[in-house]
A = this chain, B = another copy of it.
Amino acid sequence: MEDKVKIIEIKKSVFAANEKTADDLREELKQKGVFLLNVMSSPGSGKTTTLVELINALKDKIKIAVMEADIDSDVDALTVAKKTGVQSIQLHTGGMCHLDAEMTSQGLNGLSNLDDLDLVILENVGNLVCPAEFDTGAVTSLTILSVPEGDDKPLKYPLMYQVCSLVVINKIDVLPYFTFDVAKCKENIKMRNPNAEVIEISALKKEGIDKLADWVLKQVKNWKENK
């Protein structure tokens, strides 16, 4: 069958002079003591449900706000505000496939109480390609991979798994109905990123949220101590 397969390389340099803005934003947030966490995933992998549970687990310990990027709709920011009570900003990207540091900065400027916050969570556009290429100015990023998407995603979307420090495997409640091998998935993640941590959750069934909340809290505390 090998003779039936031909491989053609298509290369294009991607425009990305976004780093300076991201570094400036990171420095500005450091001065204010605000930790920015960037959350990325495919469409439909459960970002918003996960964030609602995470925020509810953390909101009595630290002051949090959330920014929801979406191409058009406002449903995610409304959902988060309703279900957690924290300040929530909807960023309309107007068709854009990712957020960059300038867009993130515009969002942060829209928060009424930025100086008082400990943590701002940025829900990036649902997309495993473009968001990985643009530094948002966040301290760190996490990527959600849901069981129905398949354990091979780290092989197919390399950069997404290289730029994050945590991979959250979501929807573990449906493991019996899919051919998803958790051990294999972890191997694939390690291959892309030996330093990435992995936490398994079901946001819908509220399983594993405590571990995720502990991870976030640890990141924020370590960063505050070292800044």
Contact = CB atoms under 8 A, between A and B. Distances in A.
Interface of A: 1-2, 4-12, 14, 42-44, 70-75, 77-78, 81-82, 85-97, 103, 106-107, 110, 125-130, 133, 146-150, 152-153, 155-159, 171, 174, 177-178
Count chain B CB atoms within 10 A of each CB in A125, A130, A159 and give the residue with the most.
Answer: A130
Contacts of A147: 148
A70 to B, nearest CB: 6
Contacts of A10: 91-94, 96, 103, 106
A12 B126 contact: no
A135 to B, nearest CB: 15
| Copies of this chain in its oligomeric complex | 2
A96 to B, nearest CB: 5
B130 A7 contact: no
A63 to B, nearest CB: 14
A139 to B, nearest CB: 22
Contact of A43 (B71, B74, B156): B156
Given A129-B127, A133-B95, A156 B71 contact: yes
A7 B94 CA distance: 12
B174 A148 contact: yes
- State the 3 A-B residue pairs at the shortest beta-carbon distance, nearest first: A44-B149, A148-B148, A97-B129
Count chain B CB atoms within 10 A of each CB in A10, A74, A85, A159 and give the residue with the most.
Answer: A10
